[in-house]
Amino acid sequence: MKTPWWFLHKTPLSFLLLPFAFVYYLGGRVVFLWRKMFAYKSRRKVICVGGILAGGVGKTPIVRTIANFLDAPVVMRGYKRTAHTNNIGDEAAMLMSDGIAVHVGHRKSNIMLLNRQKDNGPIVMDDGLQNPSIVKDVSILVFDDGLGFGNGFLLPAGPLRESKRHVKNADAIIVVKSKKPRKKFVLPNGVPVFYAENKTVSPYQKGEKLFAFAGIGYPKKFFNSLNGIVAKRSFGDHYQYTDKDIADLIEAAKRKKAKLVTTEKDWVRLPTDVRKKIKFAQLETKIEDSFFDWLKEKLDCEQ
């Protein structure tokens, strides 16, 4: 589904949904406390990278960067697995294309499986900060400073999956910089904050007309990162493209005399034969060096 328009603004509709947000919060706390009673402690260190916003903060590139740095496997749920992504999900397909060992499915079961191996290296867990059934040795929270806390309300009145006050429970915060930082986005004191920068590299030469499309949490971020866009089309997050969708996009691009371009996350969801006709813009993510110094020290302290 597409990200609801009221997630970033306090509107009459978001206020009307506040009672449902209160019910969501209470239900979430009950489930949290129940799962915490049966938490599993991994033999290998577990580094959990997640967010408190519902999608779109740029978590997967951060996971990829950390996993590559540690040469660590990744466990993840594998959202919306399809035949186009070899039944592992678009985010998992992205990570695997980078040579990362990805284990998709029930995260606790996969961590238990990895613990049976002789390897003693850390495991990176994609998402799951709100699920206490696995004990995390390091919890890293990711934000996009262009989104901040959104409108500050819990689901469904806003994008938050848990209250802002739980941010202080993270071991560290990584903030992905934006060209337009959101006002009043203030993080709590006492939690180390590190910054990351994204650079979107177009597969086409400068001056080429582009028709951009994306099915991600906040497609506007992708559109604003490219130059030369003459048309754009957004779809719901993790959208599964149909043959008609693709035919319509190709025809629309022809009318605009433009080249189709999308995100890597969308590209892996396209049929194999279509990937030869459509290119994706590579997202390069760089986290400041001090974060990796902190991470190594943190893992050494956990020994």
Instruction: Give the per-residue pLDDT at 2.
Output: 76
Instruction: Give the per-residue pLDDT at 179.
Output: 86
Question: How many domains in the chain?
Answer: 2
Shared-domain flag, residues 39 and 114: yes
Instruction: Give the per-residue pLDDT at 128.
Output: 87
**Burial (0-12, 13-18, 19+ Cβ within 10 Å), 104:** buried
Shared-domain flag, residues 224 and 273: yes
pLDDT tens digits in sequence order for the chain, 303 residues long: 678 889 999 999 999 999 999 999 999 989 989 988 889 999 999 999 999 998 788 899 999 999 999 999 999 987 665 545 555 688 898 999 899 999 999 999 999 999 999 999 999 999 988 889 999 999 999 999 999 999 999 999 999 999 998 899 999 999 999 988 888 899 988 999 999 999 999 999 999 999 999 999 899 999 999 999 999 999 988 899 999 999 999 999 999 999 999 999 999 999 889 999 999 999 999 999 999 999 999 998 755
Phi and psi (nearest 5°) for 8?
-100, 0
Q: Token pair 């890597």 is at which residue?
A: 264
Per the DSSP assignment, residues forming a β-bridge with 176 are 144, 196
Instruction: Give the per-residue pLDDT at 72.
Output: 97
Instruction: Give the per-residue pLDDT at 70.
Output: 96
Note down the domain range covering 232: 200-285
Instruction: Give the per-residue pLDDT at 81.
Output: 56
User: How far, CA to CA in Å, does 53 sit from each of 172, 192, 229, 257?
Assistant: 16, 19, 28, 37
Shared-domain flag, residues 217 and 164: no
Instruction: Give the per-residue pLDDT at 249.
Output: 97
Asked whether 196 and 286 are in contact (CB, 8 A), the reply is yes
Shared-domain flag, residues 104 and 234: no
- CA 71, 75, 76 angle in degrees (round to 5)? 135
Instruction: Give the per-residue pLDDT at 16.
Output: 96
Asked whether 73 and 295 are in contact (CB, 8 A), the reply is no
Q: Token pair 């180390």 is at which residue?
A: 192
Shared-domain flag, residues 149 and 248: no
Shared-domain flag, residues 152 and 227: no
Shared-domain flag, residues 139 and 179: yes
Residues 6+ apart with CB under 8 A from 103: 73, 74, 75, 76, 110, 113, 114
Shared-domain flag, residues 155 and 277: no
Shared-domain flag, residues 207 and 192: no
Shared-domain flag, residues 135 and 268: no
Shared-domain flag, residues 73 and 145: yes
Q: How far apart are CA 185 and CA 143, in angstroms?
A: 10
CATH number at residue 113: 3.40.50.300
Shared-domain flag, residues 255 and 296: no
Instruction: Give the per-residue pLDDT at 5.
Output: 86
Q: How far apart are CA 127 and CA 51, in angstroms?
A: 7
